[in-house]
């Protein structure tokens, strides 16, 4: 970390600042130039609050050199993390995983049929929301426990592990018991108490990027989960808010190489929420795999026009199968299997 001290600052106050850093265990390189007075802090600065340092009246600027995250940082963990979901490996260089299913669970027969459909198409996990974060309080809020139990039955019939969104730590025991991958949705990406709670869980966590969050903020949220004890984090890009209106969100595919460079965590892409339109899902899925993503999570519904949520961004099962067949070819081109 580099702390730039204001010109003409009182030398006594500068010494006090240096001593303060040294008492915290940092080595301080003090360099006085003709225009700038710079303190270079050597040591692990992850726990330092740069805004607090900046509040010191003699400090002009604070620049972080090292990333503020440690556990997620590729620098300290060069090999890829591979998250094991009931024997299915997410991350690494071999397999691409595809997760399919409805936005919301709509009943037992419905989810069991869709589970069968996505399995036959080539998906290796089933998604389905039972607790739904809806913009309107009057919109369908999810079937709750009943929806989770319907997912459990669908897993029993197909063997597909189940992925569902946790909205409140009150439901964590239920998710611990029944769900294979706990999804933290975009709206809760910075719900720090929820992140700490799932950090105590042993289940893999699918952490979506927030609606308007930087990559660093997203990695810091993964860091929260990891710092609380759970290393099994799968990141999921689902599009961010921009000025563009032709799509629901803007898919930021540049996160794939950036996440791979900065972290060792697996990254998957959700082209359904990213585009909001079933017509764009296939091309964005192929692009995601070509870019090096470790998997896809896609909304699927037999009758999207009747879906209880997010119908416009659901693929019908046959289109989903066509997509997987094409994606398999791209996976082979980049040296992976699907």
The answer to whether residue 185 forms part of the interface with ligand PEP (CB under 6 A) is yes
Tell me the window of 3-11, 146-154, 179-187, 278-286 that interacts with ligand PEP (CB under 6 A): 179-187
Given candidates 133, 159, 229, 257, which one binds ligand PEP under the rule CB under 6 A? 133
Q: Does 103 engage in binding with Mn ion (CB under 5 A)?
A: yes
Give me the DSSP letters along 94-154.
SBPEEEEE-SB---HHHHHHHHHHHHHHT-SEEE-BSS---SSTTS----THHHHHHHHHH
Structure tokens at 216: 């660093």
- Residue 310 binding Mn ion, by CB under 5 A: yes
97 binds Mn ion (CB under 5 A): no
Cα angle 155, 161, 162 (rounded to 5 degrees) comes to: 80
* Contact window for ligand PEP (CB under 6 A) among 183-191, 261-269, 314-322, 326-334: 183-191
**For residues 188 and 208, what is the distance between their CA atoms, to the nearest angstrom?**
9
The helix, strand and coil proportions of the chain, stated in percent and rounded to the nearest 5, come to 40, 20, 40
Nearest distance from C-beta of residue 121 to ligand PEP, angstroms: 19
Which one of 71, 119, 155, 208 is in contact with ligand PEP (CB under 6 A)?
208
Among 91, 101, 128, 129, binds ligand PEP (CB under 6 A): 129
Measured CA to CA in angstroms, residue 268 lies from 52, 54, 218, 254 at distances of 36, 37, 14, 12
Using CB under 6 A as the binding rule, whether residue 273 contacts ligand PEP is answered as: yes
Q: How far is the CB of 308 from Mn ion (least distance, A)?
A: 10
Two tokens, residue 5: 């001290």
CB-CB neighbours of 15 under 10 Å: 11
In this structure, are residues 118 and 101 in contact, taking their beta carbons and an 8 Å threshold?
yes
Distance of CA 287 to the CA centre of its chain: 18
User: Residue 208's CB: how many other CB atoms inside 10 A?
Assistant: 26
Taking the C-alpha atoms of residue 321 and residue 315, their distance in angstroms, rounded to an integer, is: 9
Q: Tokens 């089933």, residue?
A: 126
Helix (H, G, I), strand (E, B) or coil at 291: helix
Of the pair 39, 123, the CB lying nearest ligand PEP is at: 123
Binding mask 232-251 for ligand PEP (x = CB under 6 A): ------x-------------
Q: Which listed option, Mn ion, ligand PEP, none, makes contact with residue 208 (CB within 5 to 8 Å by class)?
A: ligand PEP
**Span near Mn ion by CB under 5 A; candidates 59-67, 71-79, 97-105, 107-115:** 97-105
Residue from 72, 97, 186, 240 touching ligand PEP (CB under 6 A): that is 186
Residue 76 CB neighbours (<10 A): 11
Range in contact with Mn ion (rule: CB under 5 A) among 62-70, 100-108, 246-254, 329-337: 100-108
Please report how close the Cβ of residue 291 comes to Mn ion at its closest, in angstroms: 22
Size of the site for Mn ion (CB under 5 A): 2
- x/- mask, Mn ion, residues 48-87, rule CB under 5 A, reads ----------------------------------------
* Interface of this chain with Mn ion, residues 150 to 209, rule: CB under 5 A: none
- Minimum gap (Å) between residue 155 Cβ and ligand PEP: 18
> Which residue ranges make up the site for ligand PEP (CB under 6 A)?
103, 129, 133, 165, 185-187, 208, 238, 273
């Amino acid at each position: 970390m580099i702390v730039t001290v204001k010109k003409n600052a009182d030398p006594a106050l500068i010494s006090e600042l240096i001593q303060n850093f040294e008492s915290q265990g940092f080595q301080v390189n003090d360099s006085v130039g003709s225009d700038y007075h710079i303190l270079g802090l050597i040591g692990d600065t992850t726990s330092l609050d740069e805004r607090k340092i900046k509040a010191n009246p003699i400090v002009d600027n604070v620049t972080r050199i090292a990333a503020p995250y440690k556990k997620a940082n590729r620098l300290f963990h060069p090999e890829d993390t591979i998250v094991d979901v009931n024997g299915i490996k997410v991350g690494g260089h071999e397999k691409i995983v595809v997760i399919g299913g409805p936005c919301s669970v709509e009943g037992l027969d419905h989810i069991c049929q869709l589970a069968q459909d996505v399995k036959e198409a080539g998906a290796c996990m089933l998604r389905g929301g039972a607790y739904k974060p809806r913009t309107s309080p009057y919109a369908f809020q999810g079937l709750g426990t009943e929806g989770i139990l319907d997912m459990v039955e669908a897993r029993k019939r197909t063997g597909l592990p189940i992925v569902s969104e946790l909205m409140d730590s009150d439901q964590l025991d239920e998710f611990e018991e029944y769900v294979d991958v706990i999804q933290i949705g975009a709206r809760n990406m910075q719900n720090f108490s929820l992140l700490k709670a799932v950090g105590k869980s042993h289940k893999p966590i699918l952490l979506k990027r927030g609606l308007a969050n930087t990559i660093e903020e997203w990695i810091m949220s993964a860091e929260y989960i990891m710092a609380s004890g759970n290393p099994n984090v799968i990141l999921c890009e689902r599009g961010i808010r921009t000025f563009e209106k032709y799509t629901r969100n803007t898919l930021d595919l540049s996160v794939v190489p950036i996440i791979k460079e900065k972290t060792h965590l697996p990254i998957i892409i959700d082209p359904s929420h990213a585009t909001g339109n079933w017509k764009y899902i296939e091309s964005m899925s192929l692009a995601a795999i070509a870019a090096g993503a470790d998997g896809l999570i896609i909304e699927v519904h037999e009758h999207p026009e009747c879906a209880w949520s997010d119908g416009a961004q659901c693929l019908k099962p046959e289109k989903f199968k066509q997509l997987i067949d094409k994606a398999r070819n791209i996976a082979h081109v980049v040296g992976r299997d699907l």
